[in-house]
Structure formats: structure tokens, C-alpha cells
Amino acid sequence: MNRFIAPNPAVPRYFSYEDGRTYLPIGQNLCFVRHSEQYTEEEVFALFHRWMRRLAENGGNFARVWLGTPFFDVMPERPGEFSAENRAHVLKIVEFAEELGLKLKFTLEHFRRVAPSAGSDVEQFPGAVNFNKPLYSGLADSMRDYLASDRCRELYLAKAQFLAEAGIGDSPAVIAWELWNEINCIGSIDEIRAWSDFMLPRLRKMFPHQMVVQNLGSFSGDETFRWYDYLAEQPGNDFLQVHRYLDPGAALDVCRGSVDQLAADSIRELLDRDAGRPAILAEVGAVEANHSSYSHLYELDREGTLLHDQLFAPFFAGSAGSGQSWHWDELYIDRHDLWYHFRRFARAVEGIDPVAEAFRPFHTETHRLRLWGLRGKSHLLLWCRDKTSNWQSELQRNIPAEVISGESIPVPENATEGSCYLPWEDRWRELRCRAGRGELPPFRRSIVVKIPLVTA
């Protein structure tokens, strides 16, 4: 059986099927339909199917879905009472994925309070998901109580078991189970470690063919590094994930700068902690200060410059796949019909096998460009990003991106030829190499360079 996916045994920074074929996730968060209770069942399914279809027909092969939201929650009203209807909703999404050739990561829970409370920063803007779960209020007085409660642990596992009994663990369309969304928001490191240590092996036994992972909130604050230290040390965590946003209220300077830098740096942070597992930028987007709302830049970004950088930068910085953007629906990607950016990324990496290449990431710069590169066994890949064009110049100051001409980059001394993909024009061009320099064709914003390596 060669249907399931895991980190490659020989080159564990990348994913592969059981037969060794590489799997490079090109994906997106499609986590829920906002205010799903206001739609009919058919309308919710129609939205999911359209998002999934648009992703798949543009080269995407991966999506994330939250199972703690009302439409999918299999224990929606009372502890220990399960909903066959909502489980059927989950199975329908699996069916869509099988039909469209997508792989899924299911996030089992996301709530942050066991009783309603005022003043939540995640509920102050239209369409925000509900982070309250009063169903547990009779069993725990706080999230600390919830994490330590034997009964609450039993109920968490019972929900997972109810899904497993439907055969979801046997579907090759489901490749990973994520224990919780941004679990650092509900407890201390010690509390989360104890809970995760308990859950990870049990979920692995329940879903033996699929990966099991944990995740944390945005890597943007002065204490965040401690949490990601813990995540990299967590036993049984199949791959490393990071969340990071363009956030004007962030403590880290990198989170307030160019999107390619904040995205690439997040992957570096993971690989610095553990280069022996795949690293994925699992949520990336743009928000108002301190995540108080989605960013006003989305309204202005009709060409998708933010999305472009979110997709490309992580992979060329050493990630096992593309960056996985947030705000997929009427707030940004679907609103401006930006799905074609996934096709542009897919074309940029078409024919490249990261496992066979055993890529090693590096970074350098020219006066005009930032170069994010991957050294492989037979190819050198580079993504070159214009330093002068970013969200500040284009979206805030309304300065169009310039066409860059006459630019050259360093290449291997013996390189004589190569090719360039222009993602903003969707076409390939020749790269002329001479005396250790590659002469780039005119391009706008970014360009991908592919050079075959000559061996003696």
C-alpha cells in the first residue's frame, strides 16, 4: 500500500509516499464557513466544494479544515452525546478531497474558554470564529481545569474515536490530525506539554496511517521563542509548523516588514530548532495590530502580492511545501479571485523533486534583490525578490512595482545555462550564464531561477 504520506526516511525535511515518491504540499487554510448557521447545509457544502475545486484546478493539493466548528463538531451539545449528522459533514469533505485529489489536515479543536466571556480580541470583527465552548463549563471552571481533567481528556479522545469509527483513518485523502489550533493560548508550557504527551500517542494509535501534529500561535512576540523550543522537543510530533502574520503590533521587527522576509524567517526558526523534520508555515496572513482584525491591506491587494510572497518564500527558505495562507474566503483570496497564484507556484516547482535533490537552503542578496536559494544534487533553485517593491510601497504608497532590467546574480562558475520562470507573467525564459554570473531577463517583483549543476 503506497497511499499514505510521512516524512521521507532518507531526507526527512520533505514528505513522501510509502513508495518514496515525493509529496510537496501546495495548500491553503479552508477551515470553516463563517456564520455557517446562517446557511443551509447545501450552501455550506457548495462553498467548500467551490473553494476546494478552485484550489485543485490551480495546482493546489492540500487543505486544512477545523472540526471544532459548529458544522463539523461531532459532540455539539452535551458531553458524551455524538452527532451522526455532523460526522456525515466531515465525511462529505473527505469525499470532496478524494474527488479533487486534495490531501487534508483536520484540526480537532480550537476553543479557548469553557464559558462565554467578554473582551476577546478574536471576536471583535465580523465573521470571527467563536472560541467559546460552554459545553464543558460543568466539567471545568477554566482551561487549566480542562487540560488536567481526566473526564475532559476522555471526551476529547471519544470525539476522535467517533471519527475513526467512520473509517476516516483509512482514507488517503486525510494525511494529518492536528490536536489543537494555537494551543499556547489555553495554558502554560508545562500544562500543554503534559496534555500533548498524553494525547499524541493515543491519536497515533487511533490513526496509524496518518500523521499527528501540534501547533502554536503566531511567532511574533518576545516569549514566543520559548514555545517553539518546546514544540521542537515534543516527542511524537510528526512535523513542525509555525504561524506568523504581518502584524503592525508585533514585538518582532521581522513581523512588521516585508512578507517574504517574515515568511522565510519563520522557516529558519523551525529549521534552527530541528532540521530533521519537515517545516511548514501553516498559517500566514496580514492582520491589524495585535490580531485585532484582518488587515485593511486585503482590500487594496487585488493582484495578490501578499499571497505571492506567502506561497513562495517558505519553500525557497527550506520548507517542505508552500506557505499556507489564512483569510481564504470573502475577506481576501476568494474575494479577489487570487487562486491562480497557486498555479504559478506549482509551475515554478514543476519537475523538481526535493527528496531526490536533498535541498539545502541558503540566503544571499544583491543591491536590488533578496535571493532565497536551494542547493540540490542536480539543480540550484533560486527565488529572487525585488527589495524595493513590497506592501508598503505598493499598497500603502500606491507605487507600482517596477520592471527590473539588467540585473545579474551569482551562479556556479561552471554554469553555462539555466531557465527563469516569471510568476507575474506566467512564462519561462532563458538564463544566460557567464563567468559565474547569471543575466536575468526583465521581470517584475520576483523571478525563479533553475540551474542544472554540472558535475565532473
Which CATH number goes with the domain that contains 443? 2.60.40.1180
Rounded CA-CA distance 294/395 in Å is 15
Residues 347 and 422 both lie in one domain = no
Count CA within 13 A, CB hemisphere, residue 292: 8
Residues 320 and 382 both lie in one domain = no
Torsion of CA 66, 69, 70, 71, to 10 degrees: -20
Question: What sections of 108-223 are H helices per DSSP?
Answer: 143-148, 150-164, 189-206
Q: What is the pLDDT of residue 115?
A: 79
Residues 166 and 298 both lie in one domain = yes
Residues 202 and 301 both lie in one domain = yes
Torsion of CA 84, 87, 88, 93, to 10 degrees: 170
Rounded CA-CA distance 16/27 in Å is 16
For the sheet with 379-386, list strands across it: 360-365, 369-375, 379-386, 446-452, 417-422, 427-434, 437-439, 408-410
Residues 21 and 107 both lie in one domain = yes
Rounded CA-CA distance 117/132 in Å is 8
Residues 120 and 228 both lie in one domain = yes
CB atoms within 10 A of CB 294: 21
Query: Across the strands, what pairs with 279?
Result: 240
Residues 47 and 118 both lie in one domain = yes
Domain finish residue from 306, 334, 353: 353
Rounded CA-CA distance 172/1 in Å is 10
* DSSP structure class, residue 452: E
Q: What is the pLDDT of residue 119?
A: 46
* Long-range contacts at 362-368 (CB < 8 A, ≥ 24 apart): 363/264, 363/317, 364/410, 366/407, 366/408, 366/409, 368/404, 368/407
Residues 119 and 15 both lie in one domain = yes
Number of structural domains found in the chain: 2
Q: What is the mean pLDDT of each run of 10 residues along the chain (456 residues)?
A: 87 96 97 93 98 98 97 97 98 98 98 72 60 93 96 98 97 98 97 97 97 97 96 95 98 98 98 97 97 96 98 98 97 98 98 97 97 97 97 97 96 92 98 94 98 83
Contact 60, 28 (CB under 8 A): yes
Q: How would DSSP label each residue in 252-300? A: SGGGGS-HHHHHHHHHHHHHHH-TTS-EEEEEEEEBSGGGSSB-THHHH
Domain finish residue from 353, 375, 408: 353
Residues 218 and 90 both lie in one domain = yes
Q: What is the pTM of this model?
A: 0.96
- Domain assignment of residue 220, given as a range: 5-353
Q: How would DSSP label each residue in 382-439? A: EEEEESS-SHIIIIIS--PPPEE-S-EEE--TT--EEEEEETTTTEEEEEEEETTEEE
At position 341, the amino acid (one-letter code) is H
CB atoms within 10 A of CB 414: 11
Of 85, 86, 83, nearest to 72 (Cα)? Answer: 86
Domain finish residue from 353, 378, 399: 353
Q: Are strands 103-107 and 174-178 parallel, antiparallel or unpaired?
A: parallel
Which CATH number goes with the domain that contains 293? 3.20.20.80
Instruction: Provide the 3-class DSSP secondary structure of residue 246.
Output: strand
Of 159, 140, 158, nearest to 149 (Cα)? Answer: 140
Residues 53 and 160 both lie in one domain = yes
Instruction: Provide the 3-class DSSP secondary structure of residue 108.
Output: coil
* DSSP structure class, residue 239: S
Residues 160 and 231 both lie in one domain = yes
Q: What is the pLDDT of residue 456?
A: 59
Rounded CA-CA distance 18/6 in Å is 8
Residues 305 and 372 both lie in one domain = no
What residues have CB less than 8 Å from 337, skipping those under 6 apart? none
Angle at 271 between CA 265 and CA 276, to 5 degrees: 160
Count CA within 13 A, CB hemisphere, residue 53: 6
